[in-house]
Protein backbone atom coordinates (compact mmCIF):
# COMPACT_ATOMS: atom_id res chain seq x y z
CA UNK A 1 0.00 0.00 0.00
CA UNK A 2 1.20 3.49 -0.80
CA UNK A 3 1.51 5.94 2.13
CA UNK A 4 -0.27 9.28 1.70
CA UNK A 5 -0.38 12.31 4.02
CA UNK A 6 -3.68 14.19 3.67
CA UNK A 7 -4.50 17.41 5.52
CA UNK A 8 -7.96 18.71 4.59
CA UNK A 9 -8.16 22.18 6.14
CA UNK A 10 -10.88 24.84 6.26
CA UNK A 11 -8.97 26.96 3.75
CA UNK A 12 -6.49 24.67 1.96
CA UNK A 13 -6.04 20.95 1.33
CA UNK A 14 -2.44 19.78 1.57
CA UNK A 15 -1.40 16.30 0.45
CA UNK A 16 1.75 14.31 -0.34
CA UNK A 17 2.59 10.81 -1.59
CA UNK A 18 6.38 11.09 -1.29
CA UNK A 19 6.98 13.19 1.85
CA UNK A 20 8.67 15.90 -0.21
CA UNK A 21 6.34 17.54 -2.72
CA UNK A 22 3.15 18.80 -1.10
CA UNK A 23 0.22 19.44 -3.41
CA UNK A 24 -1.89 22.35 -2.16
CA UNK A 25 -5.31 23.46 -3.41
CA UNK A 26 -8.18 25.55 -2.00
CA UNK A 27 -10.66 23.43 -0.02
CA UNK A 28 -13.55 24.39 -2.28
CA UNK A 29 -16.20 22.32 -4.05
CA UNK A 30 -18.74 23.63 -6.56
CA UNK A 31 -21.37 21.43 -8.18
CA UNK A 32 -21.92 22.45 -11.81
CA UNK A 33 -25.32 23.42 -13.14
CA UNK A 34 -26.84 22.38 -16.42
CA UNK A 35 -26.25 25.38 -18.75
CA UNK A 36 -28.60 26.65 -21.45
CA UNK A 37 -25.87 26.05 -24.06
CA UNK A 38 -22.89 23.80 -23.92
CA UNK A 39 -19.77 25.09 -25.73
CA UNK A 40 -17.50 22.25 -24.70
CA UNK A 41 -17.86 18.59 -25.51
CA UNK A 42 -17.82 17.56 -21.87
CA UNK A 43 -19.95 19.02 -19.13
CA UNK A 44 -18.48 18.83 -15.67
CA UNK A 45 -20.65 18.00 -12.70
CA UNK A 46 -18.18 19.09 -10.14
CA UNK A 47 -15.36 21.63 -9.79
CA UNK A 48 -12.73 21.29 -7.09
CA UNK A 49 -9.85 23.36 -5.72
CA UNK A 50 -8.40 26.00 -8.06
CA UNK A 51 -11.14 25.42 -10.67
CA UNK A 52 -13.79 25.99 -8.02
CA UNK A 53 -12.00 29.15 -6.88
CA UNK A 54 -12.07 30.54 -10.44
CA UNK A 55 -15.81 29.92 -10.64
CA UNK A 56 -16.45 31.51 -7.25
CA UNK A 57 -14.48 34.61 -8.20
CA UNK A 58 -16.19 35.06 -11.56
CA UNK A 59 -19.76 33.92 -11.22
CA UNK A 60 -22.30 35.04 -8.67
CA UNK A 61 -24.89 32.86 -6.98
CA UNK A 62 -23.11 29.54 -7.11
CA UNK A 63 -23.26 27.23 -4.17
CA UNK A 64 -19.80 26.78 -2.70
CA UNK A 65 -19.14 23.90 -0.35
CA UNK A 66 -16.33 23.89 2.17
CA UNK A 67 -15.42 20.64 3.94
CA UNK A 68 -14.96 22.07 7.38
CA UNK A 69 -16.85 24.83 9.06
CA UNK A 70 -16.03 25.97 12.59
CA UNK A 71 -14.21 22.69 13.08
CA UNK A 72 -17.15 20.50 11.92
CA UNK A 73 -17.00 18.13 8.95
CA UNK A 74 -19.35 18.64 5.98
CA UNK A 75 -19.38 15.19 4.51
CA UNK A 76 -20.02 15.40 0.81
CA UNK A 77 -17.42 18.05 0.03
CA UNK A 78 -14.89 16.46 2.41
CA UNK A 79 -15.01 13.23 0.42
CA UNK A 80 -14.78 15.05 -2.91
CA UNK A 81 -11.60 16.83 -1.79
CA UNK A 82 -10.07 13.55 -0.61
CA UNK A 83 -10.92 11.91 -3.96
CA UNK A 84 -9.47 14.86 -5.85
CA UNK A 85 -6.25 14.65 -3.81
CA UNK A 86 -5.72 10.93 -4.55
CA UNK A 87 -6.59 11.38 -8.21
CA UNK A 88 -4.12 14.24 -8.62
CA UNK A 89 -1.41 12.32 -6.77
CA UNK A 90 -2.26 9.34 -9.00
CA UNK A 91 -2.41 6.88 -6.11
CA UNK A 92 -4.77 3.91 -5.98
CA UNK A 93 -3.91 1.49 -3.23
CA UNK A 94 -3.38 4.01 -0.43
CA UNK A 95 -2.78 3.99 3.30
CA UNK A 96 -3.86 7.51 4.25
CA UNK A 97 -2.92 9.30 7.45
CA UNK A 98 -5.04 12.37 8.09
CA UNK A 99 -6.24 14.66 10.88
CA UNK A 100 -9.34 16.20 12.41
CA UNK A 101 -9.70 18.98 15.01
CA UNK A 102 -8.83 17.85 18.55
CA UNK A 103 -12.40 18.39 19.74
CA UNK A 104 -14.14 16.64 16.84
CA UNK A 105 -16.72 14.18 18.12
CA UNK A 106 -16.13 10.44 18.29
CA UNK A 107 -18.99 9.92 15.83
CA UNK A 108 -17.48 12.40 13.39
CA UNK A 109 -14.17 10.57 13.51
CA UNK A 110 -15.76 7.17 12.97
CA UNK A 111 -17.83 8.51 10.07
CA UNK A 112 -14.81 10.12 8.41
CA UNK A 113 -12.72 6.94 8.65
CA UNK A 114 -15.57 4.75 7.45
CA UNK A 115 -16.57 6.88 4.49
CA UNK A 116 -12.97 7.51 3.37
CA UNK A 117 -12.21 3.79 3.57
CA UNK A 118 -15.31 2.80 1.57
CA UNK A 119 -15.22 5.54 -1.05
CA UNK A 120 -11.47 5.53 -1.63
CA UNK A 121 -10.85 1.86 -0.98
CA UNK A 122 -7.99 2.86 1.28
CA UNK A 123 -6.77 2.19 4.80
CA UNK A 124 -7.24 5.32 6.93
CA UNK A 125 -5.42 6.44 10.09
CA UNK A 126 -6.79 9.46 11.92
CA UNK A 127 -4.89 11.80 14.29
CA UNK A 128 -5.60 15.03 16.16
CA UNK A 129 -4.51 17.72 13.64
CA UNK A 130 -1.30 19.11 15.25
CA UNK A 131 0.17 15.61 15.73
CA UNK A 132 1.13 15.74 12.03
CA UNK A 133 3.58 18.57 12.64
CA UNK A 134 4.96 16.84 15.75
CA UNK A 135 5.63 13.68 13.76
CA UNK A 136 7.22 15.75 11.01
CA UNK A 137 9.59 17.34 13.54
CA UNK A 138 10.31 14.06 15.31
CA UNK A 139 8.86 15.31 18.62
CA UNK A 140 7.25 12.57 20.72
CA UNK A 141 6.78 14.59 23.91
CA UNK A 142 5.69 18.20 23.77
CA UNK A 143 3.04 20.80 23.02
CA UNK A 144 1.86 21.84 19.57
CA UNK A 145 -0.27 24.88 18.69
CA UNK A 146 -1.71 24.71 15.15
CA UNK A 147 -3.19 28.01 13.97
CA UNK A 148 -5.35 27.17 10.96
CA UNK A 149 -7.89 29.23 9.08
CA UNK A 150 -11.00 28.05 10.93
CA UNK A 151 -9.64 26.72 14.21
CA UNK A 152 -6.59 26.73 16.43
CA UNK A 153 -5.82 23.25 17.74
CA UNK A 154 -3.64 22.59 20.73
CA UNK A 155 -2.33 19.17 21.83
CA UNK A 156 -0.07 17.93 24.57
CA UNK A 157 1.51 14.53 23.96
CA UNK A 158 3.92 12.43 26.00
CA UNK A 159 5.82 9.57 24.32
CA UNK A 160 3.38 9.80 21.39
CA UNK A 161 0.41 9.35 23.75
CA UNK A 162 -2.34 12.00 23.83
CA UNK A 163 -2.54 13.77 27.23
CA UNK A 164 -4.81 16.73 26.64
CA UNK A 165 -5.85 19.30 24.08
CA UNK A 166 -8.43 21.75 22.83
CA UNK A 167 -9.94 23.26 19.68
CA UNK A 168 -10.48 27.03 19.74
CA UNK A 169 -12.89 28.54 17.25
CA UNK A 170 -10.33 31.22 16.67
CA UNK A 171 -8.20 30.84 13.59
CA UNK A 172 -6.95 33.28 10.96
CA UNK A 173 -10.61 33.89 10.01
CA UNK A 174 -11.18 35.88 13.21
CA UNK A 175 -8.18 38.10 12.52
CA UNK A 176 -9.18 38.62 8.87
CA UNK A 177 -12.80 39.45 9.76
CA UNK A 178 -11.63 42.37 11.90
CA UNK A 179 -9.07 43.53 9.37
CA UNK A 180 -11.63 43.34 6.60
CA UNK A 181 -13.91 45.73 8.49
CA UNK A 182 -11.04 48.18 8.96
CA UNK A 183 -10.14 48.06 5.25
CA UNK A 184 -13.79 48.45 4.24
CA UNK A 185 -14.20 51.52 6.46
CA UNK A 186 -11.00 53.11 5.17
CA UNK A 187 -11.03 52.27 1.47
CA UNK A 188 -14.60 51.17 0.82
CA UNK A 189 -13.70 47.81 -0.70
CA UNK A 190 -14.08 44.26 0.54
CA UNK A 191 -11.20 41.81 0.31
CA UNK A 192 -11.34 38.02 0.12
CA UNK A 193 -9.15 36.02 2.55
CA UNK A 194 -6.89 35.07 -0.39
CA UNK A 195 -6.37 38.75 -1.28
CA UNK A 196 -5.73 39.59 2.36
CA UNK A 197 -2.99 36.94 2.55
CA UNK A 198 -1.34 38.25 -0.65
CA UNK A 199 -1.40 41.81 0.71
CA UNK A 200 0.08 40.82 4.07
CA UNK A 201 2.78 38.49 2.75
CA UNK A 202 4.06 40.66 -0.15
CA UNK A 203 5.42 44.13 0.50
CA UNK A 204 4.86 45.37 -3.04
CA UNK A 205 1.37 44.02 -3.45
CA UNK A 206 -1.61 46.19 -4.27
CA UNK A 207 -5.25 45.36 -4.92
CA UNK A 208 -7.44 47.53 -7.09
CA UNK A 209 -11.16 47.76 -7.79
CA UNK A 210 -13.38 50.07 -9.78
CA UNK A 211 -15.85 51.92 -7.55
CA UNK A 212 -18.24 54.57 -8.87
CA UNK A 213 -16.20 54.88 -12.07
CA UNK A 214 -12.91 55.34 -10.23
CA UNK A 215 -9.96 53.17 -9.37
CA UNK A 216 -9.51 52.45 -5.71
CA UNK A 217 -6.51 50.54 -4.44
CA UNK A 218 -5.22 49.12 -1.19
CA UNK A 219 -1.54 48.35 -0.69
CA UNK A 220 0.50 46.37 1.85
CA UNK A 221 1.65 49.65 3.43
CA UNK A 222 -1.96 50.85 3.83
CA UNK A 223 -2.97 47.94 6.03
CA UNK A 224 0.14 46.66 7.79
CA UNK A 225 -0.13 48.89 10.87
CA UNK A 226 -3.80 48.10 11.44
CA UNK A 227 -2.88 44.45 10.92
CA UNK A 228 -0.14 44.59 13.57
CA UNK A 229 -2.48 46.09 16.18
CA UNK A 230 -5.18 43.50 15.54
CA UNK A 231 -2.67 40.63 15.25
CA UNK A 232 -1.06 41.38 18.62
CA UNK A 233 -4.34 41.12 20.56
CA UNK A 234 -5.48 38.10 18.51
CA UNK A 235 -2.18 36.28 19.15
CA UNK A 236 -2.36 37.16 22.83
CA UNK A 237 -5.81 35.60 23.15
CA UNK A 238 -4.63 32.37 21.55
CA UNK A 239 -1.42 32.33 23.60
CA UNK A 240 -3.39 32.80 26.84
CA UNK A 241 -5.63 29.84 26.05
CA UNK A 242 -2.57 27.74 25.26
CA UNK A 243 -0.99 28.76 28.56
CA UNK A 244 -4.11 27.63 30.40
CA UNK A 245 -3.68 24.20 28.84
CA UNK A 246 -0.03 23.83 29.85
CA UNK A 247 -0.69 25.09 33.40
CA UNK A 248 0.43 22.46 35.90
CA UNK A 249 2.30 20.30 33.35
CA UNK A 250 5.81 19.02 33.95
CA UNK A 251 8.57 21.20 32.49
CA UNK A 252 9.93 18.16 30.61
CA UNK A 253 6.77 18.23 28.48
CA UNK A 254 6.83 21.97 27.97
CA UNK A 255 10.47 21.85 26.82
CA UNK A 256 9.18 21.31 23.30
CA UNK A 257 6.61 23.85 22.21
CA UNK A 258 5.85 23.98 18.49
CA UNK A 259 3.88 26.60 16.63
CA UNK A 260 2.45 25.48 13.26
CA UNK A 261 -0.36 26.06 10.73
CA UNK A 262 -0.54 28.80 8.09
CA UNK A 263 -1.52 31.36 10.74
CA UNK A 264 1.88 31.04 12.38
CA UNK A 265 3.56 32.10 9.11
CA UNK A 266 1.73 35.45 8.94
CA UNK A 267 3.97 38.49 9.63
CA UNK A 268 5.04 38.87 13.26
CA UNK A 269 2.96 35.98 14.65
CA UNK A 270 5.87 33.68 15.57
CA UNK A 271 7.66 36.57 17.27
CA UNK A 272 4.56 37.41 19.36
CA UNK A 273 4.34 33.82 20.60
CA UNK A 274 8.08 33.68 21.26
CA UNK A 275 7.81 36.73 23.52
CA UNK A 276 4.63 35.54 25.17
CA UNK A 277 6.13 32.13 26.04
CA UNK A 278 9.52 33.49 27.12
CA UNK A 279 8.96 32.46 30.73
CA UNK A 280 7.52 29.06 29.80
CA UNK A 281 9.97 27.61 27.26
CA UNK A 282 11.46 27.90 23.79
CA UNK A 283 9.10 27.80 20.85
CA UNK A 284 10.08 26.36 17.50
CA UNK A 285 8.34 26.19 14.16
CA UNK A 286 8.73 23.97 11.07
CA UNK A 287 10.19 25.37 7.85
CA UNK A 288 6.82 25.39 6.15
CA UNK A 289 4.09 25.55 8.81
CA UNK A 290 1.28 25.23 6.26
CA UNK A 291 2.59 21.93 4.90
CA UNK A 292 4.05 20.42 8.08
CA UNK A 293 0.90 18.49 9.10
CA UNK A 294 0.62 16.81 5.68
CA UNK A 295 4.34 15.89 5.73
CA UNK A 296 4.01 14.43 9.24
CA UNK A 297 0.89 12.43 8.35
CA UNK A 298 2.91 10.97 5.49
CA UNK A 299 5.63 9.92 7.96
CA UNK A 300 2.98 8.30 10.18
CA UNK A 301 1.34 6.49 7.24
CA UNK A 302 4.74 5.18 6.26
CA UNK A 303 5.52 3.94 9.77
CA UNK A 304 2.13 2.20 10.05
CA UNK A 305 2.53 0.65 6.62
CA UNK A 306 5.64 -1.07 7.91
CA UNK A 307 8.22 0.97 6.03
CA UNK A 308 10.77 3.01 7.96
CA UNK A 309 10.93 6.63 6.88
CA UNK A 310 14.22 7.30 5.10
CA UNK A 311 13.73 11.07 5.52
CA UNK A 312 15.18 12.47 8.73
CA UNK A 313 12.96 14.72 10.81
CA UNK A 314 13.79 18.42 10.87
CA UNK A 315 16.63 18.85 13.33
CA UNK A 316 16.45 20.99 16.47
CA UNK A 317 19.22 23.21 14.97
CA UNK A 318 16.94 24.07 12.08
CA UNK A 319 14.13 24.82 14.46
CA UNK A 320 16.29 27.15 16.51
CA UNK A 321 17.70 28.79 13.38
CA UNK A 322 14.23 29.66 12.31
CA UNK A 323 13.61 31.26 15.69
CA UNK A 324 16.80 33.26 15.37
CA UNK A 325 15.94 34.34 11.86
CA UNK A 326 12.59 35.59 13.09
CA UNK A 327 14.24 37.66 15.82
CA UNK A 328 16.81 38.98 13.36
CA UNK A 329 14.09 39.98 10.96
CA UNK A 330 12.35 41.84 13.74
CA UNK A 331 15.49 43.74 14.71
CA UNK A 332 16.11 45.00 11.15
Q: How many residues bind Mg ion (CB under 5 A)?
A: 2
Q: Which of 10, 5, 153 is nearest to 69 (CA)?
A: 10
286 makes contact with ligand ATP (CB under 6 A): no
267 makes contact with ligand ATP (CB under 6 A): no
Sole window of 10-18, 58-66, 76-84, 304-312 interacting with ligand ATP (rule: CB under 6 A):
10-18
296 makes contact with ligand ATP (CB under 6 A): no
Minimum gap (Å) between residue 324 Cβ and ligand ATP:
20
Among 258, 265, 294, 295, the residue binding ligand ATP under the rule CB under 6 A is: 265
State the binding partner of 19 from Mg ion, ligand ATP, none, CB within 5 to 8 A by kind.
none
Sheet strand arrangement including 64-65: 46-48, 29-31, 64-65
Q: Which of residues 8-27 bind Mg ion (CB under 5 A)?
A: 9
String of b and e for 308-330 (b: at least 16 CB within 10 Å)?
ebeeebbeeeebeebbeebeeee
The answer to whether residues 70 and 168 touch, using CB atoms and an 8 Å cutoff, is no
132 makes contact with ligand ATP (CB under 6 A): no
DSSP 9-57: -SSEEEEESSSS--EEEE--EEEPPPPSS--SSS--SEEETHHHHHHHH
Which residues are CB-contacts of 53 (< 8 A; sequence separation ≥ 6)? 26, 28, 194
Nearer to Mg ion, 293 or 319 (CB): 293
Q: Which of residues 153-182 bind ligand ATP (CB under 6 A)?
A: 171-172
Q: Which of residues 52-81 bind ligand ATP (CB under 6 A)?
A: 68
Minimum gap (Å) between residue 273 Cβ and ligand ATP:
15
Amino acid sequence: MKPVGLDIGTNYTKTTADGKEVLTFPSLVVFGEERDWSLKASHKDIYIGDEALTIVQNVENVEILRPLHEGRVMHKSYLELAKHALKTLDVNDAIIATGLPVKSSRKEREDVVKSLETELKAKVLLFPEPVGTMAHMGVETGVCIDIGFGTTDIVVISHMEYLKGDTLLMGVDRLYENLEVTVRNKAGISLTPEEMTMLLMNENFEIGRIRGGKRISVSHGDIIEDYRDLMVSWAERIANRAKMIVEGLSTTIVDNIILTGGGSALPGVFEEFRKSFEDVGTISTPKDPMKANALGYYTLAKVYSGETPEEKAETPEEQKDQGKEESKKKKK
